[in-house]
């Protein structure tokens, strides 16, 4: 299964991603799907076959950049103590989500529908969190009985709840609170 795409399909797919990334950056994350399709010179049907939902398109368009976020984790661990690295990465996460506003919505849609369309990025994110948490746990600065999935979903929740740029400080306070929870020693 998943035989290679036909040449024309491949071309269209790439064109769509290119146009989408540009459109999101230029017109905000709520540009109409029709507009993207038109600009890419394909019909709406084609767009929807490649990306069945708006979220799928957003995810695909941002996948590369999101990978960069994940890849940042090891670097942080090299330049600061593990617990500070965890906290620093959390900031990056929330900042990323609020920059690419469409991302937060996509994230939520996937969370809500327990979706696997996100599986790829999700796994990657989970990997980054796990790495950070393990390092901090080894250093004895966070507890060991917390699941990385929970931390990831928690970060998602904070991003969702503080989507408004005016709430950046509140987001930071919530991250601090989360960190404090992670440091807590169960009695």
Tell me how far, at minimum, the Cβ of 158 lies from a copy of itself, in Å. 5
Could you give the 3-state DSSP secondary structure of residue 90?
helix
Angle (CA) 31 32 36, round 5°:
85
Partner touching 158 among a copy of itself, DNA, none, CB below 5 to 8 Å by kind:
a copy of itself
Tell me which residues in 53-112 interact with DNA (CB under 7 A).
53-54
Does residue number 23 form part of the binding site for DNA (CB under 7 A)?
Answer: no
Lookup: tokens for 105:
């919505």
Residue 14 or 164: which CB sits closer to a copy of itself? 164
Query: What is the dihedral sign for C-alpha 150, 155, 156, 158?
Result: positive
Residue 6 or 185: which CB sits closer to DNA? 6
Could you give the 3-state DSSP secondary structure of residue 1?
coil
Partner touching 48 among a copy of itself, DNA, none, CB below 5 to 8 Å by kind:
DNA
Q: Roughly what angle, to the nearest 10 degrees, separates helices 33-40 and 54-79? A: 90
Q: Which residues of this protein are in contact with a copy of itself, per CB under 8 A?
A: 108, 111-114, 146-147, 149-150, 153-154, 156-164, 166-167, 170, 173-174, 177-184, 186
Residue 40 or 155: which CB sits closer to DNA? 40
Interacting residues of 110 by C-beta distance below 8 A, sequence separation 6+ = 55, 59, 117, 118, 122
Residues interacting with DNA, by CB under 7 A?
A: 3, 5-9, 11-12, 30-35, 41-46, 48-50, 52-54
């Amino acid at each position: 299964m998943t035989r290679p795409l036909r040449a024309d399909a491949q071309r269209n797919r790439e064109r769509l991603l290119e146009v989408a990334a540009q459109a999101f950056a230029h017109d905000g994350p709520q540009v109409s799907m029709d507009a993207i399709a038109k600009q890419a010179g394909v019909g709406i049907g084609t767009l929807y076959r490649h990306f069945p939902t708006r979220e799928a398109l957003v995810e695909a368009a941002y996948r590369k950049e999101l990978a960069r976020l994940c890849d940042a984790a090891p670097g942080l661990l090299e330049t600061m103590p593990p617990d500070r690295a965890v906290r620093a990465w959390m900031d990056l996460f929330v900042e990323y989500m609020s920059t690419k506003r469409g991302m937060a919505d996509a994230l939520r849609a996937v969370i809500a529908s327990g979706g696997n369309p996100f599986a790829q990025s999700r796994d990657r994110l989970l990997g980054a969190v796990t790495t950070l948490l393990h390092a901090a746990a080894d250093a004895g600065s966070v507890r060991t009985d917390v699941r990385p999935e929970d931390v990831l979903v928690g970060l998602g929740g904070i991003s969702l709840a503080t989507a408004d740029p005016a709430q950046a400080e509140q987001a930071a306070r919530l991250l601090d609170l989360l960190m404090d929870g992670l440091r807590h020693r169960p009695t």
